Amino acid sequence: MNDALKRCHRESLERRILDLFAEDGRAQDFSVSHDGLLFDYSKTNIDTDTRRALVALTETADVAGRRAAMFSGAPINATEGRAVLHTALRNLDGDPVTVDGQDVMPGVRATLERMADFAADVRDGRIAGQGGRITDVVNIGIGGSDLGPSMAVRALKPYHDGPRCHFISNVDGADLTDTLGGLDPARTLVLVASKSFTTQETMANACAVRAWMARAVKDPAQQFAAISTAKEEVAAFGIPPERMFGFGDWVGGRYSVWGPIGLSLMISIGPDAFFDFLKGGQAMDAHFQSAEPERNMPVMLALVGLWHRQICGHATRAVIPYEQRLERLPAYLQQLEMESNGKRVAMDGSALESDSGPVVWGDAGTNGQHAFFQLLHQGTEVVPCEFLLGAEGHEADLVDHHEILVAHCLAQSKALMTGRDLETARGQVEAWGLSGKTLDRLARHRVFTGNRPSTTLLYPKLTPYVLGQIVALYEHRVFVEGVVLGINSFDQWGVELGKELAGAILPAVRGETAPDRWDGSTRFLLDRIRTPRTGE
């Protein structure tokens, strides 16, 4: 990174985050408020100079120009020669968006209408199973064809008024067995969600579920629908075109929840609530495109992320929603952020000069407090934390629970920042009546260095609209970080090699080929795996 930021970093090491609050109004100044959301980054070691230097990065990298290119349908996914237009899926105003000279909006609208009709028909019983009204929907997909809808369906539980939704992603047969257990195949609708319709795990699961259904009903295809860009593969699987919901190759898998991949969500919460989800995303798009950098939530979220990873060198970032129903958000963001920005090569093929995006991990609070927070507070690594918190919960009869939840969230970010010094710790141990070496020793264990950065995203209540805002916020954050780093956030070549090798190793696992061609460790493991099966 540039000299100005290096200087800002050096200066930040000379002060504590808490010192920055000596200036009045820091919380207001170092936060962005928009459309009910508040992103508070005041508990970071970013001061005015640092922010200025960070904002300058967006100018150098021409974030505004790249953003305009993305929204206009230019092929910014340069390694695959594709446009990046998940934003068109939530462009409810229908303003034209052209790819290769063609407006994609009529197609987007038509698909959305078909989805809404299909969802309404399933919910109202006009589309039924061979044993009666659909009671359960099973989405089969993996990665972007699973994480978005499964996260969102879980997040919006209070809005479920349709059939129950289930998700099978893993090729581990346990996922399938445990999900199908208790379901009535004659009243289950299966959505096979796969952009490519060739993903091995998804196709293995789809075939197995079809066989499960065939044991109970005459015509399983009647209870299947496909969500894909691959017409021929869908037809070859036996799903008719009227049960296929397609989308353009300009929608990346991890950005696809807004369209047909979100069909399970739409069936679960209904078309109107799904439209609210889209509206939230669309509102965030408008904000992202128009707000100046310092007042622009995705831009500032990205710049804080770049500060922590690329300037301060913190290798990981914890995402901790104080909202049980967002427990799948960290997993969703792992794909969104790590598949997008986990790259060591710049757009032009040269080696990246800075670090790639961070490792993203986390879990819902308060559960995480009783698991990994010990390390966050007293470990040797500094892990910037991203808290998410709703001002209001849905449980009107459990308001006290929500108050406790809020108190814990605020307490954690405060504890990370302020810590507890040795003198205070000594005072506490002294109060137990201890002294001398025992006091010294025990007091040290109770010291918290503090000065650990965190941000808080505060939202009013987790409605479909707010979830749409949050997901779009994170998508644009990834975009800005990618542009500043100079990488292509929209391909994922890094997942290819493992897939290829799995295909090549499978015959050896099945015992169809000898394991000789593999390296010593793989051969050794294959031998051990095969021994108990064959009794050799």
Ligand X SMILES: O=P(O)(O)OC[C@H]1O[C@](O)(CO)[C@@H](O)[C@@H]1O
Q: Which residues bind ligand X (CB under 6 A)?
A: 142-145, 194-196, 199, 202, 253-254, 339, 492, 495
CA distances in angstroms from 172 to 175, 203, 285, listed in the order given: 6, 13, 38
Distance CA 11, CA 5 (A): 10
DSSP letter at 141 equals -
Rounded least distance, CB 339 to ligand X, Å: 6
DSSP letter at 81 equals T
For ligand X, the closer of residues 339 and 475 by Cβ is 339
CB 89 within 8 A of CB 472: no
Rounded least distance, CB 518 to ligand X, Å: 23
For ligand X, the closer of residues 44 and 145 by Cβ is 145
How many other β-carbons are positioned within 10 Å of the β-carbon of residue 160? Answer: 16
Q: What tokens does 126 get?
A: 């006009």
DSSP letter at 138 equals E
For ligand X, the closer of residues 124 and 496 by Cβ is 496
Residue of 370, 445, 500, 536 marked active site: 370
Rounded least distance, CB 301 to ligand X, Å: 22
Rounded least distance, CB 215 to ligand X, Å: 26
Distance CA 110, CA 107 (A): 5
Rounded least distance, CB 448 to ligand X, Å: 39
DSSP helix, strand, coil percent of the chain (3-state; round to 5): 55, 10, 30
437 noted as active-site residue: no
For ligand X, the closer of residues 144 and 185 by Cβ is 144
Q: What tokens does 417 get?
A: 């920042």
CB 340 within 8 A of CB 489: yes
Q: What tokens does 277 get?
A: 């989800």
Residue of 201, 327, 337, 339 marked active site: 339
CB 459 within 8 A of CB 155: no
Give the residue among 179, 242, 166, 249 at the shortest CA–CA distance from 208: 179
Dihedral angle sign, alpha carbons of residues 504, 507, 510, 511:
negative
For ligand X, the closer of residues 22 and 497 by Cβ is 497
DSSP letter at 44 equals S
Rounded least distance, CB 68 to ligand X, Å: 25
499 noted as active-site residue: yes
Residue of 6, 157, 401, 499 marked active site: 499
339 noted as active-site residue: yes
List the beta bridge partners of residue 84: none
For ligand X, the closer of residues 8 and 227 by Cβ is 227
Which positions are catalytic? 339, 370, 499
